[in-house]
Every structure is written in C-alpha cells, then in structure tokens.
Structure 1
Amino acid sequence: MMKTILLIVTNIEQYASGHLKTGLWLSELTHIYHAAKEKGWKITIASPKGGNTPIDPESLKPLVLDGISKSYYENPVFMNELAQTKSLDMVKNDSFDCIYLAGGHATMYDFPDNTTLQEILRDQYESNKMVAAICHGVGGLLNVRLSDGEYMIKGKAVTGFDWFEETLARRKNEVPFNLEAALKERNVHYRKAFIPMTSNVVVDGSLITGQNPFSSKEMAKVVVSELEKQAFM
C-alpha cells in the first residue's frame, strides 16, 4: 500500500556563536529517504522556511559518511531536493502517514519554538498517525501541546541525543540547551543506550524516536515496519 511521508529538515547553517557551521545531519535523512524510496512511497521534504537546507560538514566526514549517505550526497537530483524544500506553511494542510523530524544540531534553533511545526505534529498525533524524530530533531517535540493543553510527550518513552554524547561531540558550549534535560523536564520516560553513540530506537505507540546518528539505519527499518503494520490493522 502506498504511504506518504513528510521529512522535515532545518534551514539553519551555523551556531549562534557564529564560530562553527551546522545544519542537517545527512544520514538522519538519507536512510529514511532511501527506505521509503525503495518501497515506492511518496516523499515530501519540508523545512520551517522552505528553500535550502544546509548540511552539517561534520556529517560528511569519512568516519560517519556511510555508503548510502555518500551516494545521495553525490546525487544531483537529491541535492536539488534539499536546495528546494517546501515550507511548513505549504504542507500544513496536507495528510501524511508519517511525519519524520531529521536531526542535526541546527534543529535546536528552528524546531522547538516553531508554532506551525507544533500544529502539524499535534494534528498528526491526535489523528493516531505516526510521529518520528531522531537525535536533535527530537527537540521539535518538546513544546508540542495537545488539544487538552498537555505536552504531547508527557509520560511517553522517548530518546534523543544525550548530554554525554554532546560532550563527545564537543558541542556542549555551542548548543542553545541541554536536550536530555529538556526532555526530562517534560516528564518523559527517557531511554538511552548503555553505550553512548550506539543505535537506540524507542517506540511508544505512534511515537518513534532515535537517539543519535548511529540510530539512522535502525530508525528507518522501524518506521517502515511500523507503517507496514498499519496496513493490516
């Protein structure tokens, strides 16, 4: 059965300090994109403002640029899609089987307080349709309130880039907030991998979260599997 998936990416290209570049963490988009493409599903890429999404140069380094991500980075058709994303305003009234927030430190600036994104996610979740987010993209879930005023993630099992991983990434002094602490303030059941920087995906009903870039491959598999289950329900 044909599925529709909305992949949301960032428009931000540097940290507030202005010292370092940031952007989309490439593998956190390419693996879900590739998995959906293989299924023949309809994919839409959007960002808060629309237009170009910059790629974090750290995600292009040899040790983290896996084969799938490299092939898409070298694909002019895909790169053109990233240069011409739709704005959230353009897609807010469209229907999707899954809305997926890709990460990268940049999302900490343009995801959490975006009211259009909050409305899109609230409507998706209250329609019992899938909401997925990976790594720093999970920050986009922080301020989403349901119709009853409660935070969407309150009481939910979730994961996201943890503070020790931020230390390992050498970005503690650059990021605008501590994602792990912010999630815990929402009274979530925070789940992290025993070993930092290893794959961890958490499913709580129609909410799926991945901890870090190394969760990208497993995240794609889980999202596809959960969406396919829905076809038989």
Structure 2
Amino acid sequence: MKILMVLTSHDQLGDTGKKTGFWLEEFAAPYYVFKDGGADVTLASPKGGQPPLDPSSDTDDAQTDDTKRFKSDEAAQHDLANTAVLSAVSADGFDAIFYPGGHGPLWDLAEDDDSKALIEAFADSDRPFGAVCHAPAIFKHTKNADGKPLVSGKKVTGFTNTEEEGVGLTDVVPFLVEDMLKENGGDYRKGDDWDSFVVVDGKLVTGQNPASSAEAARKLLDLL
C-alpha cells in the first residue's frame, strides 16, 4: 500500500502577524496509523522541504502519544523535513491520499491547482481520499467529471463554525470550512465540538477536528 500525505506550506495566520501551518497531531496520528498498518508513506507539500508547524500544536497541552513518538523518531523527522514538491508528484502509483489539517491549508492547498488535480484523479479512479479538520478546505474548487463540486451530495465533515469561534479565528480565516462544504452542496454532518467525528461516503473520508485524525486515518486504511 502506498499512501500520499499532503501538508501545507503556508505559515502566516492571515494579517495577525502570528504563525500557522500544519497541526502536529493531525500529521503524527495518521502517519503512524498508516505506517503501523504496513503502508509506504510519501510526504509532499506545495513548496517541498520542511512544512511549517503551527506553534499552537506544539505546546505541552497539545501533545499526544503520537506526537511524543514523532519527536523521538528521527526517520519520521527526516521524512517530514524533506517533503516532495507537490507539482512533481503524480497520482500514479499511490493507493490513497490524505491531508492533515491546521489552518495553513485554508490559504494554500484550498487554492492549489496541483492539489486539485491530484484529488480529482483519486476521485475519478475510485481510490480513497481523505482530509481532517481544516484540510477539507481542499474541496473548495474540486469538481466531479460532470463539473459539479466534488462534495456535492456527499456526506462530509470538517472543522465546525463553533469550533472556529472557540479558537477566536472566525474573522481571521479566509473562509469557514463548514460554510464552504455546505455551499458546495455537501451533506455536512458534525459531532460535538472537539470530540472525534468521522464521516465516510464511498471512498471519501473526512474528520471534524484534531481528535478525529487517528480515526479518519483508520477509516481510510479500512478502504484499502
């Protein structure tokens, strides 16, 4: 099994002057679900190299067993520091694609043509594709073969409006994930704020928040 994980390269939190990037738990938990499940994992990002880490995900209270494991795993750290440039990555040869969240994807991956082409290639070939927390932002412009939004009519989830309100960034982000998924015709579902909640519709897997990252990865692996 070969799984492609795509991370953000964006590190600016709007006009706040603060840093953002990918959320450590949302990378580490799926990475180890895939690795422990026997998958060969390739990491990519729009700019390649080391993706920016959201500093809020690196605080003591945000650590989990998976993030602690990552911090003592030199091979995984090397892999993360050397992500492939997304434009050079082909969908060929991969069995599934997965996007960790963090606020970064709202700015770059949501608008990235290379990412859009990859997702559409996986969807068109009926291969599993998934995203967690803010990463369902990647479905902002993706289309089906018939030209309709890729999530139209599909059960989906992602970071809720109330969770965004809870972290005080409703007026900072370029768009709200929940609103965008609904506007694109998605059958948006959600669980309680901050609890694990994952939705599977065909080969599409989406998770609501950081707590959903491991379960979303397991559901994606189940499809393989």
Per the normalisation by structure 2, the TM-score is: 0.95
- Where do 1:188-199 residues align within 5 Å? 188-193=186-191, 195-199=192-196
- Which residue of the partner structure matches residue 205 of structure 2? 208
SS in 1 for 2:61: coil
CA deviation string 1:56-91 (max 9, x = no partner): 111112222101112203333222222211011221
Q: Which runs of 5+ in 1 are unaligned?
A: 228-233
- Which residue of the partner structure matches residue 92 of structure 1? 90
Query: How many percent identity over aligned positions?
Result: 35
Distance 2:74 2:55 in 1: 18
Aligned residues of 2:91 and 2:121 also touching (Cα < 8 A): no
The alignment of Structure 1 onto Structure 2 pairs a total of residues equal to 224
Which AA in structure 1 matches 2:184?
A: R
- Which residue of the partner structure matches residue 7 of structure 1? 5
- Which residue of the partner structure matches residue 165 of structure 2? 167
Q: Does 1:223 align with 2:220?
A: yes
Per the normalisation by structure 1, the TM-score is: 0.92
Distance 2:222 2:90 in 1: 25
Distance 1:117 1:76 in 2: 28
Aligned residues of 1:92 and 1:116 also touching (Cα < 8 A): no
SS in 1 for 2:110: coil
Q: Does 1:106 align with 2:104?
A: yes
Q: What do you get for the CA RMSD once the two structures are aligned? A: 1.3
Corresponding residue to 1:78 among 76, 82, 95:
76
CA deviation string 1:112-141 (max 9, x = no partner): 111111111111101000010101110001
Aligned residues of 2:33 and 2:214 also touching (Cα < 8 A): no
Q: Which runs of 5+ in 2 are unaligned?
A: none
Aligned residues of 1:208 and 1:223 also touching (Cα < 8 A): yes
- Which residue of the partner structure matches residue 55 of structure 1? 53
